[in-house]
Chain A
Amino acid sequence: MKPAKFEYHAPSTLDEAIALLVRYGGDAKVLAGGQSLVPLLNFRLARPAALVDLNRIRALAYIRDENGLVRFGAMTRQRTIEFSPVVARRLPLLREATRWVGHLPIRSRGTIGGSIAHADPSAEYPAVLTALDGEVVARGPKGERTLAPAALFETYLTTTLAADEVLTEVRLPAMPEGAGWAFEEFARRHGDFAIVGVAAALWRGGGRVTARLATAGAGPVPRRLSECEQILERDGLGDAAIEAAARRASELVEPDTDLHASADYRRHLAGVLTARALRRARETARG
């Protein structure tokens, strides 16, 4: 299990990185934290002609909290996010989800941009991005564009990013003061990708409830559960509304069967975890 040969580049600027990607015309791969790509290289399931390593681009690692928006440089480590006071204060849902990402030694290297660009539908960050109406910034030779999750995630392990584009930034609107949250996940073992995960955030304001819900592991892309959110926004956060939202979640998701779980079981779990996430989010919500 040794990688096939490749050319290796570790540019120190984003422009250089993009120029390299253009040069290889689709035969190069971007190396971020490497926690998903290097296994694929070791199994020789990925055989790029070249690797463009972003780890030396200092300008891609940051957390900025400005005007209600938290912006993450794509190369921000999951571990940095886990221990960031800004994240703890402004995006507690992201912080909780981070604890579900692999294990601490994985999070030491793994990055927010890498996790999202890898587009594993069972992964936690794509679900949080989807739940919180976040967006990503991608830069290529033709310039920069901003993509909402629905425009980014295509299917299993596939995004709409072009081969010469780099995901440079992840933007998440800060959760309102007093918002409740929960990330519920069911996996066969600790640290595994989710069989199903549910990201939930709730807040009250102006006499009404706002709910944000998305799933991981329940289909080819993370799924925003807008209809469930509407049930809660219409009927409030009582047990009956939560149960109704959970039932609707089971109906909305379109999971597949794999080695670890059947589609029916995943569908069922989507409901169970939605209810659990909403109850816990309700408990943590203030105001």
Chain B
Amino acid sequence: MSERWIGKSVKRVEDFRLLTGRGTFIDDHPPVGNVHHAAIVRSRHAHARILGYDVSKALAADGVVAVITGEDVAKETKPFAVGVTTPVHYYCAATDKARFVGEPVAVVVARDRYLAEDAAELVEVAYEPLPAVIDPEKALEPDAPVLHEKAGTNLAGHRRLVYGDPDRAFREAEVVLRERFRFPKYGSTPIETYGIIARWELDGVCTVWSNFMGPFIMHPLTARVLGLAENKLRFIVPPDIGGSFGIKTSIYPYIALIALASKHAGVPVKWIEDRREHLLASSSGTDRIAYREVAAKTDGTVLGMRFKWLDNVGGYIRSPEPGCSFRPTGNFVGPYRFQHLEVDASVVMTNKSLTGPNRGYACGHLYFETEGMMDRLAEKLGLDPVELRRRNLLRPEQFPYRTPTGGYYDSGDYPATLDKAIGIARYDELRREQAKARAAGRWFGIGVALAVDPSVSNMGYVATALDPQFRAKPEYLPKSGAVDSATIKVDPLGRVTAILGTTPQGQGHQTIVAQIVADELGLTPDDVTVVDEMDTFTRVWSISSGTYSSRFGSVGTSAVALAARKLRAKLVDYAAHLMERPVADVEFRDGAVRPRAGKGPSYSVKDLAGRAHWNTESLPEGMEPGLQATAVFGFTVSKAVDAEDRVNSSNTYGFIAEVMAVEVDRQTAAIRILKYVTVHDAGTIINPMIAEGQIYGGALHGLGGALYEELKYDEDGQFLTGTFMDYLVPTASEAPAEIEIAHVVSPSPLTPLGSKGLGESSSMTVPAVIANAVSDALAPLGLRITELPMTPSSLWHLIRDAQKT
């Protein structure tokens, strides 16, 4: 038997270059000569009409070759398509008005970045300041300043989705609870910021090197904006991207802007976003106000829920928003059995920066609210929060499970996963410890949170934002799908190259693909070279391609496995022909094609490769020469949203169960994590080391959002957190030292390897589990956490106010 590589913590091939300073990030090397540098002039106003520009001083400055403004943008580009029918004209820079602080208004191109920044200060923009609004509820009041006059409202979109009969559920309920939650605006601030090099050539082809994680739907969107055919806009991604966590999905408007700058300047133009720009105007999740209601029986059975959301997408609704509301449509009900749900989702525009996918896209919000409600219900009914959840969990025999909202949960054993978490945490012992601590006057709390972890978005979910009547029109084109491709080829000496269309940002795709191919072809990972530099001109891709929504572990690995299997089948056919045996009599085993039974020659991959490449005459009649295979894997469960607004918004669904114990310092209100257990079911784990790396990282993102990170504005829309001294990224001293990770494996029946995604992982559960733990700690004061982040100062005020009453 040749060695199996899947399931092993194979060390990463990426590490050699990254550890020695030899990685190739976007800022590391000019792919072409004569590269000039851009600096972007940005609005200082939260809301202002642009009256005019004077670029004469900037144009005369040292080293400047071009200046473009919103006038050029309006003249030469189209607005980006948006995911709603409201008329929002979103250009790659402000044209008529600036709608948030930091919105691009002009671009200066100069010989180097220092000079470009000098000249950017000389661009004069005349503004007429307008009143600003940053709160989504205030933005919907009748006298609120309106950002987009053509829309006439700040409501970018609104849907009321009804599944089952929620009104009846609430009528028949024995208990109804209500709560208002606020979720903060935060990003993931990858340490590498956005970077773009654009070259607009006279032949009409525009090549863009960038650390974009698409191409995704944003490639066609950008081509359209620039007035280019898709095959005249070339996106190339360098081998290394310095983190993204969803944030780099939203680089595409800048691609259009820098491409336009290159067209004007007549030279390749490079723009590296600086940290101030990143915090001001890259992307983040939405801040949300949520009103939640739960209807239940006194035995704890949840009958139904109502969600009312106001998601704040900032100055413009930028695609793929309103994914902030609808990305989890299929898993709105989480891991629970209830059938009746009403979702009232409003997507609101205010004078804040724009939003988009951020690790856990919309799920951090969802579970913070749902799990908070489950705890409130448990408290109300006098049940242990674990017991309450147990009474509502989906049972293993219900899988595969169709949720009332259209999700198709492919596999899972939720009670077993919860049990494992409870067991590792020694939950009962923790409760005893808590009783003792409480008796001693300590604020000790235990939190539990569960989450269905969706991976591989079905791009059709975004249409949930559109009215069913609109979707029913004959001219409406339904949308669905989640595909990825891979090519595997064998060179004449029998070594294998795998070519991907993915854009990894640290997830170790090269290592994982080498493991998969090694297993499929009986090789070692060292025999496999993996190339993952996306190039829209050379890779096989489709409009869902890219590395987002935890896709790779599920759809990307599937394409690789299928391509390898295709190639293996060809090797078997070829060898059978050489052996002059029927195909059924031979098999691929231990890296060679061998007779199934009896003696006879065997042919190794190396042997077959040599023969096939050097002597095509040896191929059987009708066999295509060349040893390569391309597979495009697509999920058949990816279907368009139906007339009842049901959609399987993702394709594979993992499960997370977490327990956390905390203590709140009675003097400083600082939160200390005493225990944190996280158990994941993501199907087959290909590389446990890499999988756990994702969990550690995801958990710290969740903790960042729960305790430290927030993009804050004052009432007038001025931005307050423009530095890393104000926007607080957790350091190693804030990261929990003890995280206990465990897995349950319910292989997905939908993927060839049984794997699912888990890249977003605990980023979506930690806000919920820590809020629940802190709420539990402060329960003696009658306090429950409804807002994040829980800063020591804000928590201390809550506590003080509770103690006063």
Contact = CB atoms under 8 A, between A and B. Distances in A.
Interface of A: 1-5, 39, 43-44, 186, 188-193, 195, 259-262, 264-265, 268-269, 272
Contacts of A261: 791-793
A265 B274 CA distance: 34
Contacts of B720: 259
A2 B731 contact: no
Interface string B713-744: 00000001101011010111110000000000
B274 to A, nearest CB: 4
A43 B121 CA distance: 12
B278 to A, nearest CB: 10
A37 B443 CA distance: 42
Nearest to B117: A2
Residue from A189, A195, A269 having most chain B Cβ neighbours under 10 A: A189
Contacts of A191: 731, 733
A264 B726 CA distance: 20
Contacts of B276: 1, 43
A272 B800 CA distance: 15
Contact of B791 (A2, A192, A260, A268): A260
Contacts of A39: 723
A190 B791 CA distance: 15
11 contacts: A39-B723, A44-B121, A188-B728, A190-B733, A195-B792, A259-B712, A259-B726, A260-B793, A261-B793, A265-B792, A268-B796
Give chain B's interface secondary structure class: loop
A192 B728 contact: yes
B728 A189 contact: yes
Contacts of A260: 726, 791, 793
A264 B794 CA distance: 11
Given A260-B791, A262-B793, A272-B668, 20 more contacts: A1-B117, A1-B274, A4-B117, A4-B121, A43-B723, A186-B668, A186-B792, A188-B708, A188-B728, A189-B731, A189-B733, A189-B734, A190-B733, A191-B731, A192-B728, A193-B725, A259-B712, A262-B797, A265-B793, A268-B796
A262 B625 CA distance: 73
B118 interface: yes
Nearest to A265: B793
A1 B734 contact: no
A188 B791 contact: yes
A2 B114 contact: yes
Interface residues of B, number: 30
Contacts of B800: 264
B20 interface: no
B275 interface: yes
Contacts of B118: 4-5
A272 B667 contact: yes
A2 B733 contact: no
B35 interface: no
Contacts of B725: 192-193
Nearest to A275: B667
Nearest to B732: A190
Q: Which of B114, B275, B708, B791 has the largest number of chain A CB atoms within 10 A?
A: B791
A3 B730 CA distance: 28
B579 interface: no
B113 interface: yes
Contacts, number: 63
B122 to A, nearest CB: 12
A14 B800 CA distance: 53
A210 B507 CA distance: 59
A113 B734 CA distance: 30
Contacts of A189: 708, 728, 730-731, 733-734
B531 interface: no
B664 to A, nearest CB: 14
A21 B723 CA distance: 30
B797 A264 contact: yes
Contacts of A43: 276, 723
B670 interface: yes
Nearest to B733: A190
A190 B735 CA distance: 11
Nearest to A268: B796
Q: Which 7 pairs show the lowest CB-CB distances between chains A and B?
A: A190-B733, A261-B793, A1-B274, A265-B793, A272-B667, A2-B114, A265-B796
A4 B728 CA distance: 27
A39 B274 CA distance: 13
Interface in B747-805: 791-793, 796-797, 800
A189 B732 CA distance: 10
Interface string B112-128: 01100110010000000
Nearest to A263: B793
Interface in B117-171: 117-118, 121
A186 B731 contact: no
Interface string B257-278: 0000000000000000011100
B396 to A, nearest CB: 43
Nearest to B730: A189
A54 B730 CA distance: 34
Interface in B74-116: 113-114
Interface string B583-604: 0000000000000000000000
A39 B670 CA distance: 29
A267 to B, nearest CB: 11
Kindly name the residue among B712, B728, B733 whose own CB sees the greatest number of chain A CB atoms within 10 A: B728
A2 B274 CA distance: 9
User: Which of B113, B670, B712, B731 counts the most A-chain CB atoms under 10 A from its CB?
Assistant: B731
A48 to B, nearest CB: 15
A268 B666 CA distance: 12
A259 B667 contact: no
A268 B792 CA distance: 12
A1 B276 CA distance: 8
B792 A188 contact: yes
Contacts of B114: 2-3
B578 to A, nearest CB: 63
A8 B745 CA distance: 63
Nearest to B795: A265
A15 B274 CA distance: 38
Contacts of A264: 797, 800
B36 to A, nearest CB: 15
A193 B726 CA distance: 11
A3 B731 CA distance: 27
